[in-house]
Structure 1
Amino acid sequence: MAEPGLLCVHAHPDDEALWTGGVLAKYAGAGARTGVVTCTWAEGTRRAGELERSLDILGAGAPRLLGYADSGVPDSAPGAPPFSEAPFDEVTERLVGQIRRFRPDVVITYDAYGGYGHPDHVRAHRATVAAVEAAGHDQLYPESGAPWQPRALYLVTVARSVVAEVWREAFGERAEDGGPLPGVPDERITTVVDVRPWADRKWAALHAHVSEVERGAAFTRLTSLPAPLRDRLLGTEWYLRRDLVPAAGPGRDLPGEGLL
């Protein structure tokens, strides 16, 4: 029998490290099969190469690229449509194929807001929710492989109390003074994973994305945070669990603490 499997679906290279790097490293180290589907960027591009190095650090296998363009970056996949504008059914079918080939017990993607509202993240959430349901039905996408039903979907998010704290430190203003907030109210969080033992590996995987480090963006804000807050962000991952099979139905916990 194959080891339990965990498959993440992310929009861009570096998201796998930033959002789920701790869980990927934790469960790979415990003997689970782990993998990452990345919806944008094409083989042969610089960021695809960086993704390969990041996945190697996290123990998550080879890149699984859908090959769409990063919205606003046409050179990320020349000739391909932006991921956020690609036909929804086409995206869903490709994800169904990935799920049926990998046969994961658990699938992870973003919450409904895509973490922070990026259109590619929102599309990844919506298509993954559709795909985990469709993958178990033999009537749907029969050319994409034998049916496979993951037992649970986890939506990676951030506790709203932490968002408010980060906002003050990173931007010098109250979170409520801006637009829609990332994350969800603390009481909605179903799973908090302590990934502090794997934080160094998560940080190393983030730094494998050299082009993003050079560009600044999230890395600049992370490094500018007070060390205790940065360590808290890197050392904790927050999730919303959605069961896809009855709780009493067949299924296996991933090794370790059984949090997923």
Structure 2
Amino acid sequence: MFVHAHPDDESLWTGGTIARASRRGGEVSLVTCTWDRGTTRHGELLDAADELGLAREPIMLGYADSFVPESAPGATSFVLAPFDEQVTALVAHIRELRPHILVTYDAFGMYGHPDHIHANRLTCAAADAAAIGAYHPELGDPWQPSSLYFITIPEATVTALRPHLKEDSHLPLTGTPNERIDLALDIGDCLGHKIRAILAHKTEISRSASMKDFGALPRDPQQLFLRWESYLRRDLVPGGADLA
């Protein structure tokens, strides 16, 4: 189960991992915390999910993007909504789908985005709560995920990108020391699916300064950024579960 803050994050940060797992017959589910059904970006998310081979429609928690209130008209901002309410909602999906692995951002949200940081905290809390039988037993039998995987960016990638970025670039300028990376996946065999999934998010591509900065990168650093997906791993049971 991949838990992402916004539409497009699933493709940009984990598109190759999702596509590969789907191609290999894995049961892959996606939770998107912000934006609501019926919005333009929800439609784009469905197109991207189809390109990545997801058999199950993305689960929308329906909160508002912290910086885009119209993402879910009338809904509370993702970072301001009651945390227990959010944990309960995610636990319900974990107990229903019973994933062995939960994937979300690292504790810094990779580059400090508040919605990414909040998704990390929510996923960690729900992973623990889902396994406790006394926690909302009406949500179903308890389920213990085996491992958490946190999306991160290696320092080596940041170093390779930095010379090609403007001083005011919105792309991330911090990274995780390479020796701390637990899993670095070369998703070259799924790169086409990943790129087409990213391109399905037309609204974000036309709006986002980060996307514009990324599109302006020379081919080699851009390919480096796209081709490798890196994770920190935390096992919740002895032995855990392998993402790849």
Calculate the TM-score normalised by the size of structure 2. Answer: 0.94
In structure 1, the partner of 2:48 is: 54
Given that 2:162 and 2:173 are in contact with CA atoms closer than 8 Å, whether structure 1 keeps it comes out as no
Aligned alpha-carbon RMSD (Å): 1.8
Letter of the 1:31 partner, please give it: G
Offset of residue 18 of structure 1: 0.5
Give distance in 1, aligned partners of 2:174 and 2:20. 25
Larger CA deviation: 156-165 vs 117-126: 156-165
Mapped contact 1:117–1:182 kept (Cα < 8 A): no
Residue in structure 2 matched with residue 84 of structure 1 by the alignment: 79
Deviations along 1:207-260, one digit per CA (max 9) or x if unpaired, are 11110122242322222112111111111000000001012xxx7x5xxxx554
Give CA-to-partner distance per residue, 1:42-65, whole Å, 9 cap, x none.
Answer: 111111111111111111221200
Who is 1:161 aligned against? 156
The percentage of counterpart residues that share the same residue type is: 47
> Aligned in 2, Cα 1:91/1:59: closer, same or farther, shift over 3 Å?
same
Q: Does 1:218 align with 2:210?
A: yes
4+ residue runs of structure 1 moved beyond 6 angstroms? none
Which consecutive residues of structure 2, in runs of 5 or more, have no partner in the other structure? none
Unaligned runs of 5+ in 1: 1-6
1:22-79 deviation digits (Å, cap 9, x = unpaired): 0000110011011110000111111111111111111122120000000121111111
Residue 209 (1) aligns with residue 204 (2) = no
1:235 matched to 2:227:
yes
Tell me the matched-pair count: 242
TM superposition score normalised by structure 1: 0.88
1:123 & 1:154 partners in 2: Cα distance? 15
1:193 aligns with 2:182: no
Residue type matched to 1:136 in 2?
A: A
Matched, 1:14 2:12: no
After TM superposition, give the deviation of residue 127 of structure 1 in Å.
0.7
Is 1:116 matched with 2:102?
no
Is 1:70 equivalent to 2:65 in the alignment? yes
Distance 2:134 2:182 in 1: 32
2:132 alignment partner, one of 137, 159, 174:
137
